[in-house]
Structures are given as C-alpha cells and as structure tokens.
Amino acid sequence: MSPTTALSASSSLTTLFPFSSSTTKSKPTNFTQFPFRFSPKNPTLNLTSSTARSAVSIEKEVPETERPHTFLRESDDDDDEKEPSSTSSVRARFEKMIRDAQDSVCQGIEAVDGGGKFKEDVWSRPGGGGGISRVLQDGAVWEKAGVNVSVVYGVMPPEAYRAAKAAATDQKPGPIPFFAAGISSVLHPKNPFAPTLHFNYRYFETDAPKDVPGAPRQWWFGGGTDLTPAYIFEEDVKHFHSTQKKACDKFEPTFYPRFKKWCDDYFYIKHRDERRGLGGIFFDDLNDYDQEMLLSFATECANSVVPAYIPIIEKRKDTPFTEQNKAWQQLRRGRYVEFNLVYDRGTTFGLKTGGRIESILVSLPLTARWEYDHKPEEGSEEWKLLDACINPKEWI
C-alpha cells in the first residue's frame, strides 16, 4: 500500500482527541462520534458523511479524581517501569511525550503569567483512554489558556480503511479498532500586542483487520503550531517561524516549506478570504518516513512551543495600548471564533456529536467583537496584519 493512501486523522483531531468527548447531560448515549477522512492527497471518500460518521464510536468518559500513571490499556502499557523506555511502544512513548509537553507548557505559562493558575480536569474511559484538561482563565497575562492531552481507543468503519480494500477478499471487513493520542492548546493573551498561539500534536494507529488477510496495521502523525497576532512585529513573526523551521530542519529540509504552506491552507477562513493568523506549521497523515524519526520530530515540535512563544509574550505583555488597539484585537478574536466554529473540523464535529463542550470551546477567546463592514485604513498597522492574513508571506 502506498503511504499516501493511508487513512488520515484529519485536523479534527486537533480539537477532538485532545479535548474530551462525552455525551450531553440530557440525552445520554454510550457513544460519541467523530469524523475521519482519507488523505487530502487521495480524497476519495469523505467520511464526514453521516453514514460513515455514525459507524465510528468512542465510549463515554467518566471524571477522575487524580491523574493515572498512564491512560493506555494494560495490554499497551508494555513497560513495567513507571517511565517508558526507548524499547517501549510508540503509543507509550507518545503519551509520555504529550504529558511532559503539557507540564512544561503549563509551567512556562504560569511562570510568565505570575498570577493565574491552571485548573485541571481528569477523565477516563472504562475501556481505556482518557485525558487531562487544564485551563487558566483571567490571568495577569493570558485571558484564557487551555492545554489538553488525551488518549482515545475507538472503532472506525471499514469503509474508512482503504488498506482493507487494497487487500480485497470477498469478505467484508469488520470495524477497525484504532488508537489516538494528542496534545492541543490555545493560548489567548490580554495585551493586543501579544499574539495568540495554537498547537496540537497527535499520533494515530489502527489495528490490522483480522478478517482481511494481508491488510496492514496503519499509523501516522499530525499536528502543528501557529501564531495569531493582532499586530505584526516582524521580529516576533520571524523568531516564531525560525523556531519552527529549526525544528523541521533537524529532520528534513522539505518539512518547513511544505508544512508552512499546509498551515496557511488549513487556517483559511473561506468566507473572508483570509487566514486566521500568520501561520506556522501544520501537517497530517505523516507516515512516509521512519516511525522513530517522526516520533522524534513531533517531540521536537512540541518542545519548541515554549522557546517559540514565551519570549514573544515576555516582550509584548506589558506594551501600552489604546482602546482602538484593543477593539482591533477583539475583531481578530471574532475571526478566531468564526474559524473555529465554522471550519475547524474537530470543533464542529465535537459540537455536533456530543463532545465535552467546555473542553472543545476552551479554544474560543474570552471575548470577541463583530463590527459591521469594518475596513482598516490602508497602510495602517491593522491593515498590514489583514494584508498578511489575506496574502501569506514568507517570514524567513
């Protein structure tokens, strides 16, 4: 099977896996659903259709009073030691990586904020999997910061699994079990000169279908980090993109240009013909490299969040600003809301399929604004930002 035909976890996972899925209070069911799709390189089946979606199911979650050592099923937790070693499964090492990243990002945020502390919610699923949601709200520097990790065991419809077709028999394969783990975060500062950051890294595996001989087990990585300022400071954007490029270049020189463009394409607000922000990197379906290399790459990216972002915040958090500056930031926050509620696949499907609303919508800013027919004056600082969102630039 060609790697490009692998089943792909869409950007929906950006929100969906890291943010817990549960059912609504009023209509309890045992399962919640989420969308899959094929690789954008081979978009032959849109599994966001209700037929396919209804076949994908995840157990309902339950709150936990404390963080477990691991969210993996016992059979996956292949290491007796507390710390996964280099011989542990990729699942185990990816879980450790995202939990470490959650700790270090939250520590970094709290240290700079000075005032706010993260509130933590832990949850698990009876059949395995679970997550940790952390939210800091109305801090000294950030108005809202969410950093969530999750591990999900689920079942996807065989139609989503092309390898089963490639190894075609007369037998129709049954549902395919999958594993997914991810970290997802949105950080909205108060100061209009301090940018919003979003990042998400995720790992996905399917089991080989038992009833289709020759159909392989699948895995892939996805994720990205992107910056959304209301005002452009070229040195900040350059620093941010350079840090992403540096992480990419350690592994593969084509990664940065390819993932930079992918990011510009993904965070596109179609009805505005503009991007949500100034991009960064974004990738999905990544399995056409060595698995260990990609695990190291995702780890490097997650570890680059603090050095890419925190120095910018330290520089801008106390910059004096006017009411006009704040109003413009609020208008851009409105765009953030539009992108997340209208386009982000994880958010829209999380909402429509009964996800844990407060976790999904922690990505929304504390406050946002919509003015009728607002057009920044040509040449103004606001216009420059808008121009860069309409015409993505090469920053380095």
Please give the residues from 265 up to 294 whose contact with a copy of itself meets the rule CB under 8 A.
270-273
Identify the residue among 13, 156, 362, 388 touching a copy of itself (CB under 8 A).
Answer: 362
**Residue whose C-alpha is closest to residue 147's, from 125, 118, 122:** 118
Residue of 61, 354, 385, 388 interacting with a copy of itself (CB under 8 A) = 354
Q: What φ, ψ does residue 148 adopt, rounded to 5°? A: -120, 140
Taking the least distance from each CB to a copy of itself, the nearer of 208 and 360 is 360
Q: By three-state DSSP, how is residue 14 classified?
A: helix
| Residue 326 binds a copy of itself (CB under 8 A) | no
Three-state secondary structure call for residue 286: strand
Binders in 377-396 for a copy of itself, by CB under 8 A: 390
Quote the tokens at residue 303: 């570890």
For the segment 98-137, give every residue that binds a copy of itself (CB under 8 A): 119, 135, 137
Instruction: Based on the shown chain and the rule CB under 8 A, indicate whether residue 368 belongs to the binding site for a copy of itself.
Output: yes
Choose one: 191-199, 231-239, 279-287, 345-353; the region binding a copy of itself (CB under 8 A).
345-353
Classify 380 in phi/psi space as left (phi over 0), alpha (psi -120 to 50) or beta. beta
Length of the chain: 396
Q: Quick check: 352 binds a copy of itself (CB under 8 A)?
A: yes
Give yes or no for a contact between 70 and 92, defined as CB atoms under 8 angstroms apart: yes
End-to-end CA distance of the chain: 37
CB contact burial 34-58 (16+ within 10 A = b; e otherwise)? bbbbbbeeeeeeebbeeebbebbbb
Query: From the list 45, 310, 337, 396, which residue makes contact with a copy of itself (rule: CB under 8 A)?
Result: 337
Report in angstroms how near the CB of residue 359 gets to a copy of itself at its nearest: 9
Contacts of 273 (CB under 8 A, 6+ apart): 390
> Is residue 26 a contact point for a copy of itself (CB under 8 A)?
yes
198 is catalytic: yes
Question: Could you tell me which stretch among 4-12, 105-113, 223-231, 366-374 binds a copy of itself (CB under 8 A)?
Answer: 366-374
Alpha-carbon distances, residue 231 vs 85, 101, 121, 327, 374 (angstroms) = 44, 28, 33, 12, 16
Cite the active site residues. Answer: 198
Task: Give me the residues that bind a copy of itself (CB under 8 A), please.
Answer: 24-27, 119, 135, 137, 144, 146, 270-273, 330, 334, 337-338, 341-342, 348, 350-352, 354-355, 357-358, 360-362, 364-373, 390
